Amino acid sequence: MPTVAFIGAGSMVFASKLVGDILSFPALDDSEIRLMDIDESRLEQTTRIAEAMVENEGVDATIVSTLDRREALEGADYVLNMINVGGTEPFENEIRIPEQYGVEQAIGDTIGPGGIFRGLRTIPTMLDLAADMEELCPDALLMNYTNPMSIICQALFEATDIETVGLCHSVPHTAEAIADYLDIPQSELDYWVAGINHLAWFLELKRDGESLYPALRDAATDESIYRKDTVRFELFEHFGAFVTESSHHASEYVPYFRTDSEVIETMEGEGYAERMATATYLEGWKARSAERDDPKRDVDLETVGAERSEEYASRLIHAIETDTPRRLNLNVSNETSAIENLPEDSCVEVPCLVDGSGVHPCSVGELPTELASLDQQHVSVHKLVVEAVLEADRDALHRAVKLDPLTAAACTLDEIHEMTEALLEANEAHLPALS
């Protein structure tokens, strides 16, 4: 009976999905699931849904609800992290202040000034969580879902002894999109994907041993298909591989699409206009938060059930607990040189074999030079953000923002310096002290 602690379980929709995933495996349906959050009302909502799932499915799982993180961690086998540090105010600052300097972020939670400052305010809490784990469940596997994925995992790799993997659904979501563009079943795709989180690449894409890339290039000539994923098809055309993050988010990782309003409009594909817009994720997040906090909001508890989603967490736990070999794309340390032309101390997203003995990153070899170059610039940013926090180094933070591709395409060095100082001042209450 594994014990799984959910830290940040007030993220009701996502936490409930992951609980349902675990309960969908008969080998895991007697798990002890501990739900923890600092927001009592949201935690109560998630707890009600989880308890209803257990009752409706007739399984033997135990649901524990607590506001005490240490209570949730005591003796846990797996820790799922999905916290959000700081709430709405710093998030809004991280989007709107850069916007004043011409840095147009659609998402802004993983890279760019928004992702960098989100990492800055999140890493200290993650290090506190890891310190509690080192005391209370030192052998537990920490599975991180919180963004900025690479920055947070990088900090944990460098500063703690807790085994950590980062989980993201961008690879299966991209496979689903490709299958749709090619009008073939997703189950028939065979792929090999590696890089960094949100900037990983389909190095191989096959069906019955034959490459699907020629067919995908043909599909992109259909305007109706191209308009569904404009940025990714542009990157595919110019760099030769399909990337793992959606067009509106991928546009933030490179300097080509978001520094000119006319270019942004050109990239606004079918159903994507509102997504490509600046602050689209911020505005959606605020709307979803208001809905979740609505006291009149209710869930039909009689119908909730354990339906398995595309998320990796339950599959990872099941593979380890039952010694069932399974290949998953996970964010791990590159200490084994899984990607030979990215630094060994970086966080990479690569295929991993998971079985009863744990998580084993697969060897990918070298990425094509052009793809490694796009990833390397972000790896350097990640490293500098972590250095800024661990060494309280203000200069390292400034250099991280100055190396960000989107920011560098929009601003002069002096403007970036000024913007970074403005962000430090606006979000001072949520940030570690830097000297």
Q: What is the Cα–Cα distance from 257 to 255, expressed in whole angstroms?
A: 6
Place of tokens 């119908």: 303
CB 81 within 8 A of CB 34: no
**169 annotated active-site:** yes
Q: What is the Cα–Cα distance from 270 to 331, expressed in whole angstroms?
A: 31
Q: Which residues pair with 333 in a beta bridge?
A: 347
Q: What is the Cα–Cα distance from 150 to 384, expressed in whole angstroms?
A: 12
Measured in degrees and rounded to the nearest 5, phi and psi for residue 221 equal -75, -15
Strands (E), 252-403: 326-333, 347-355, 358-361
State the angle between helix axes of 88-100 and 413-426 in degrees (0 to 180), rounded to the nearest 10.
160
Q: What is the Cα–Cα distance from 251 to 248, expressed in whole angstroms?
A: 5
DSSP string, 149-179: HHHHHHHHHHH--S-EEE--SHHHHHHHHHH
- Look at residues 252, 265, 10 and name the one whose alpha carbon lies nearest to residue 114: 252
CB 427 within 8 A of CB 94: yes
Q: What is the Cα–Cα distance from 176 to 210, expressed in whole angstroms?
A: 18
Q: What is the Cα–Cα distance from 316 to 330, expressed in whole angstroms?
A: 10
CB 354 within 8 A of CB 120: no
Q: What is the Cα–Cα distance from 246 to 428, expressed in whole angstroms?
A: 32
Helix (H) or strand (E) holding 80: strand 78-81
Set 169, 173, 360, 417: catalytic member: 169
Measured in degrees and rounded to the nearest 5, phi and psi for residue 153 equal -60, -40
Helix, strand or coil, per DSSP, at residue 141: strand
State the CB neighbour count (10 A cutoff) for residue 261. 10
Q: Catalytic amino acids?
A: 169
